[in-house]
Structure 1
Amino acid sequence: MATRATQNPLGRGVEWEFERLLISRDFSRNVVTRLLVERAEHGGWELDRVRIAPDGTRRVILRRRIIRQRLTSPV
């Protein structure tokens, strides 16, 4: 699983973190759905892309927004 951060050229200051998953064809559609729902609910991930290879493996790319804290000046 690789993770990288990129900026969206259309949205100012919006940064996304991406995670790539390779899921074997041995997992049923229901199992994959449950796995992705768990990651969405507990990790804040959303589905960016799914590609199904001719051999049945799924290449999934998940993304989540990176929220940066802003420094505030002391009063």
Structure 2
Amino acid sequence: MHLIWTILIGFVAGLVARAITPGNGPSGFFLTAALGIGGALAATFLGQALHWYRPGQSAGFIGAVVGAVILLLAYHLISKKS
């Protein structure tokens, strides 16, 4: 059940990040969910590296959205140059 909640929250975080970030990004349920989950992982690793989170502690929903926005911005920079 935890995996299902992770995917659903990742999807919602990806939707919010896509709404915040201008431009066309990856679309579809699976890519949006992967974007949100990747954003949560990026925010968790960055937060633990900066000592904002303790080891074993994960980023919350806002951290997932911020991480997903960062990933989307990186996607736009890479796809613009190609």
TM-score with structure 1 length normalisation? 0.28
Question: By percentage of residues, which structure has more strand?
Answer: 1
Pair member with larger Rg: 1
Question: By percentage of residues, which structure has more helix?
Answer: 2
